[in-house]
Amino acid sequence: MNDYWLITTTTGDHAVAERIAVQLVEQRLAACVQVSGPIRSTYHWQGAIETGEEWLVTAKSRSDLFSRVEQTIVGLHPYDVPEVVATPLTAVGAAYGAWLAASLK
């Protein structure tokens, strides 16, 4: 099995989330990207607790593509410190795995 990951980020702007999704799929760095939200995020930033509305971007990719996915997200993202985290997928259905493999670089 290939080393597939879910790679996520959040952004406060829906249009930015959509741009990230399109770029990742167009570049074949992600087989599929879902934009969910709005969600509410609470976090520490510059010495204060902040709460804001964000959009969750979830990309299906491979571990060897992570650095290129990260570069694409950071290049399109307005945040000083954008979240880019990955979770390994421990199991993927056979048919979905074949589709992932065909859809990625």
- Give the residue carrying structure tokens 């959040």: 10
Nearest C-alpha neighbor of 31 from the set 101, 83, 95: 101
* Contact (CB, 8 A) for 3 and 63: yes
Predicted confidence band of residue 38 (pLDDT cuts 50, 70, 90): very high
What is the domain extent for residue 25? 4-103
pLDDT of residue 103: 97
* Contact (CB, 8 A) for 57 and 38: no
Is a pLDDT exceeding 80 seen at residue 2? no
pLDDT of residue 70: 98
- CATH number, residue 75: 3.30.70.120
Convert the pLDDT of each residue in 10-20 to its tens digit: 999 999 999 99
Q: What total of structural domains would you count in the chain? A: 1
